[in-house]
Amino acid sequence: MLDSYSVVQTGDNTGMFIFQIPNKSSRTKLAKAMLVTRQSETEAMSGQSWVYRGPVKASG
């Protein structure tokens, strides 16, 4: 389902996951699996979460 992933800490209490997924089918499966977990964790912490989905463009 995943080719690779990275976790980047962007602040004291913030971070970002970066996933490399082989195809759209795998991306959809991963998104659906993570949705339930992310929603329940966000509700438990009374927090917020955002999801950006799309290609990452290299700069330079």
pLDDT tens figures, 14-41: 888 888 889 988 888 888 888 887 788 7
Other C-beta atoms lying within 10 Å of the C-beta of residue 31: 14
Distance between CA atoms of 46 and 1, rounded to whole angstroms? 30
Q: How confident is the model at residue 8 (pLDDT cuts 50, 70, 90)?
A: very high
pTM equals 0.52
Residue pair 30/18 in contact (Cβ under 8 Å)? The answer is: no
Tell me the percentage of the chain whose pLDDT exceeds 90: 7
